[in-house]
Amino acid sequence: MDFGKYKYEAAVKAREARKNQANTVLKEVRFRLKIDTHDYETKVGHAKRFLGAGDKVKAMIQFRGREQQRPEMGVRLLERLAEDVARWVWWKPTPASTVATWSWSSVR
């Protein structure tokens, strides 16, 4: 077999493999502790849209000033978010998940 032909076929094979790869992107949705209901629903809608597109979503809560004294309120907000997007995601706790940050992946 001709080496040039072998090299060409290997390049075509590599190109096809790259075309079939799934590219996932990590999207981040940031929340403040004192968030209004409409703003919350908008951010949840963004998270659902990202998950529907097959991207991963990272939810992050930003604490300001005295809010840092009450991390349990942040946990409650993240749990509420987890309930609202539960139909679209699977979530597994990782050692990297802290009080203020959780990550989700799409169901499919």
For 30-74, the pLDDT digits (tens) are 888 888 999 999 999 998 898 888 888 888 888 888 887 888 888
Query: How far, in Å, CA of 33 to CA of 76, rounded?
Result: 10
Instruction: Specify the pLDDT at position 72.
Output: 82
Instruction: Specify the pLDDT at position 62.
Output: 84
Domains of the chain: 29-106 (3.30.110.10)
Reported confidence tier of residue 77, pLDDT bands at 50, 70, 90: confident
Task: Read off the pTM.
Answer: 0.64
